[in-house]
Amino acid sequence: MEDKIIIRVGAKTLIPFIMVFALYVQFHGDYGPGGGFQAGVIFAAGFILYGLIFGVDMAKKVLPLSVAWLFGSAGVLIFAGVGVVTLLLGGDFLDYSVLAHDPEHGQHWGILLVELGVLTTVFGVMISIFYSFAGRRGLGT
Amino acid sequence: MLVLTALALLKLNNLFAVAMLAGIYSLLSAALFTVMDAVDVAFTEAAVGAGISTVLMLGCIALVGQTSKQPPKPAFLPLFVVFVTGGMLVYGTLDIPPYGDPDNPVHHHVADYYLEDSSHDIGIPNVVTSVLASYRGYDTMGETTVIFAAMVGVLLLLVQSPRRRGSYKDSSLKSSYHNSSDNHSMHSTSEDDSYPGDN
């Protein structure tokens, strides 16, 4: 699809907005609809759009498969790590109130970190599944 | 609309059109969720169902070709089973309290506590987020792990290193040995991806 100029220019214009919107969904999840899962999927969708238009090989130059795996595993580690940290700080597992002096702030921090973990995992997983489907033959190459 | 799309999905033979219709089906259900005020679910449905899974299906179509085989003759036993199960499910709904009634038990189990106390427990206006990430943190962690497990499963099934394909014809006893060594080599080889016809 590399020779279709309208698609290329259109996608190049759209992708940054999709990614910024994903970040908005992520960090605005406390106030409006959205959260880590949705943000991760939207971020991955922006990246997959890039892979569709410019080919999986180009996409892999931007973000190699091994990095996507790293993301996918790191998210679970972040999530469980927050739980371990709360244990070490004397609370229950995943009880964020102990993360800061004020329980409410602790909850804020905990939710922020946990959603970050979800975002990372979902993004990495979606990207690596896309690679392993599309990289086999045909599509985008 | 949903029913029409589903029927068309069943009838069509062209897989490309089927993938597109499945995307449309997801988008329609997302609209339905929005109408029912479940914006978070609608969000997810639109992004995953209509977006990414359509792309994945297109990827599959690129591998398997565009038209499906002619389906075998309609089998009546499965149809009968489907109708009986559907009938039983509909019969089951007769006992359910009326839809949307604020006095339903589901609205008074823990929901009252979440709605009233989450703003000063957690201090976040969106109750959905505080339920998901804090009150039900274990569940969400389990979900994240499930997604991670899905990735591991897909990668184990789909990503093959050329070495393993070469040793395909070897005795199956050896393959268990290869498995352990492949895990290291996958990292380096899968980046310059392997095409089935390459070797």
Q: Which domain covers residue A91, as residue numbers?
A: 5-134
How many domains does chain A fold into? 1
Q: What is the distance in angstroms between the Cα of B141 and the nearest Cα belonging to chain A?
A: 7
Residue A19 resides in a domain: yes
Q: Which two tokens stand for residue A31?
A: 């106030």
Cα gap B175→A88, rounded to integer Å = 43
Contact B104, B97 (CB under 8 A): yes
Residue A31 resides in a domain: yes
Those of residues 120-139 in A touching chain B at CB distance below 8 A are 121-122, 124-126, 128-139
Q: Which two tokens stand for residue B183?
A: 């895990």
**pLDDT attached to residue B188:** 42
Say whether pTM exceeds 0.90: no
**pLDDT attached to residue A123:** 92
Q: Which residues of B touch A121 (CB under 8 A)?
A: 144, 147-148
Cα gap A60→A48, rounded to integer Å = 11
Those of residues 23-62 in A touching chain B at CB distance below 8 A are 25, 29-38, 41-42, 44-45, 48, 52, 56-57, 60
Contact B133, A114 (CB under 8 A): yes
Adjacent-strand bridge partners of B14: B67
B195 versus A89: the higher-pLDDT residue is: A89
Average pLDDT of chain B is 75
Sign of CA dihedral B179, A57, B24, B32: positive
pLDDT tens digits, B123-172: 777 777 777 777 888 888 888 899 999 889 888 888 765 555 544 444 44
B9 versus B70: the higher-pLDDT residue is: B9
pLDDT tens digits, A112-123: 888 889 999 999
Residue A46 resides in a domain: yes
Those of residues 9-48 in B touching chain A at CB distance below 8 A are 39-40, 43-44, 47-48
Neighbours of A25 (CB within 10 A): 24
Residue A100 resides in a domain: yes
Rounded mean pLDDT of B60-80?
78
Q: What is the distance in angstroms between the Cα of B194 and the nearest Cα belonging to chain A?
A: 7
Q: Which residues contact A63 (CB under 8 A, 6 or more apart)?
A: A47, A127
Residue B81 has pLDDT above 90, yes or no: yes
Domains of chain B: residue spans and CATH: 1-67 (1.20.120.1200), 109-165 (no CATH)
Q: Give the ipTM of the model, two decimals please.
A: 0.82
Residue A139 has pLDDT above 50, yes or no: no
Rounded mean pLDDT of B181-185?
43
**pLDDT attached to residue B71:** 66
**pLDDT attached to residue A2:** 58
B175 versus B11: the higher-pLDDT residue is: B11
Q: Which residues of A touch B140 (CB under 8 A)?
A: 79, 114, 118
Rounded mean pLDDT of A23-45?
85
Residue A139 resides in a domain: no
Q: pLDDT band at residue A16, thresholds of 50, 70 and 90?
A: very high
Nearest to B149 by CA among A35, A129, A37: A129
**pLDDT attached to residue B91:** 92
Residue B179 has pLDDT above 50, yes or no: no
Residue A48 resides in a domain: yes
